[in-house]
Amino acid sequence: MTTEQHPADLWPGERPEAARRLLLAAVDSFASRGYHATTTRDIATAAGMSPAALYIHYPSKAALLAEISRHGHAATLALVEEAVAHGGDPLTRMRHLVEGFTAWHARGHTVGRIVNYELRALPPEDFAVVAELRRRIEDTVKQVIEDGVAAGLFEVPETRTAARAVTSLGIDVARWYNERSSESPEQLGQRYGELVLRMLGAPG
Amino acid sequence: MTTEQHPADLWPGERPEAARRLLLAAVDSFASRGYHATTTRDIATAAGMSPAALYIHYPSKAALLAEISRHGHAATLALVEEAVAHGGDPLTRMRHLVEGFTAWHARGHTVGRIVNYELRALPPEDFAVVAELRRRIEDTVKQVIEDGVAAGLFEVPETRTAARAVTSLGIDVARWYNERSSESPEQLGQRYGELVLRMLGAPG
């Protein structure tokens, strides 16, 4: 059992309540034991169900991992695209993007770890879907940097490395952040927003 | 089996060759299967030994993890302290520190992942040793930032958050870097050195 409050928007009500319980149980089990050492029986037990009941909803633990991973990546892509659609100059867009991306990985650090550290355990077809979502996140970040460079607001030696550093800072929050951290997810997001703008050479 | 070239300085020749083989086998097994799903039999087999022969050198797989983790942390602390002892102004020291720290996590990404992502699996007394090494790494980074601020070379809103961002960028390299990456560990180190100096508000 994790002490983390699962984000309220994690698997909202549309799907069967049993499937939602299984996803939450899978997150907790993968987080505490690691994906490879978790059995479908562990997940079913944590969800208060029988293994047979689990199989009604998911054919395997890989199917659970795939749904967690796809959902987590889709959620971060959505917030990154929303930050950009929010408008403003590239500086404002990048600030919003980093604030949201950082806060998401702090608030959802348990899910964030699974989503980012268990990629190699995904079945090939799910990996392809997730890789495409990751590419779109990276491309969105790169586009904002390029817009900023074109507008004379940013100045970076290598766009791809800079984009990588931006996403990397946010993703690594899932590794070290916990509820005892002195900064709230939002505070951390704001501070990281400042640091990233400087990193991209924005005027002070 | 990993395709990574194990850094040549990983467990140099002093210790018994069998112990060294077991450590390398443990690194490969933990990396491909995860710590929790790896058995001592897996490690012994990968090292071409019997489980009984493994126990001559290590009482448990936790003892192997602890040695890998202690060694990895001691190595990164050493390079961070060396970069600082190297001298020069805080700007030069920070550049050397980031270059070395980043390149280490790229070159040794397989070990870097185990060292950073399996902390919670360490027995308490080993965790305490490793936590102390991590604290010293973080403190060294913080000290260089504070020296830079005092010298008017850096300007950061919050030293602790900035120090965290510096180490975080380097550590996360272990997650995403692989041998197909377009940048060499040294190139990446140089680019990250540039990005970090900007992040800390160093004059352009």
A175 and B172: CB-CB below 8 Å?
A: yes
Write down the domain spans for chain B: 61-199
Residue B2, pLDDT score: 38
Nearest to A201 among B34, B192, B198 (CB): B198
Query: In the Cβ-directed half-sphere of A138, how many Cα atoms lie within 13 Å?
Result: 14
pLDDT tens digit sequence for B72-102: 999 999 999 999 998 899 999 999 999 999 9
- Straight-line distance from the first to the last Cα atom of chain A, in angstroms, rounded to the nearest whole number: 44
Asked if the C-beta of A62 comes within 8 angstroms of chain B's C-beta atoms, the answer is: no
Asked if the C-beta of A164 comes within 8 angstroms of chain B's C-beta atoms, the answer is: yes
Residue of B nearest to A37 (CA): B37
A188 and B158: CB-CB below 8 Å?
A: no
Question: How far apart (Å, rounded) are the C-alpha atoms in residues B89 and B190?
Answer: 17
Asked if the C-beta of B35 comes within 8 angstroms of chain A's C-beta atoms, the answer is: yes
Q: How many CB atoms lie within 10 A of CB B33?
A: 16
Give yes or no for residue A41 having a pLDDT over 80.
yes
Which pLDDT band holds residue B58 (cuts at 50, 70, 90)? very high
What are the structure tokens assigned to B172, written together? 């996360």
What are the structure tokens assigned to A95, written together? 């600030």
Contacts of A200 in chain B (CB under 8 A): 198
Checking ipTM against 0.95, whether it exceeds it is: no
Domain A61-199, second-level architecture: Orthogonal Bundle (1.10)
Residue B9, pLDDT score: 55
Asked if the C-beta of A137 comes within 8 angstroms of chain B's C-beta atoms, the answer is: no
Residue B12, pLDDT score: 62
Are A165 and A106 in contact, with CB atoms under 8 Å apart? no
What counts of helices (H) and strands (E) characterise chain A? 9, 0
Question: How far apart (Å, rounded) are the C-alpha atoms in residues B133 and B129?
Answer: 7
Average pLDDT over residues B127-151: 97
Residue of B nearest to A169 (CA): B169
Contacts of A105 in chain B (CB under 8 A): none
What are the structure tokens assigned to B64, written together? 């192997």
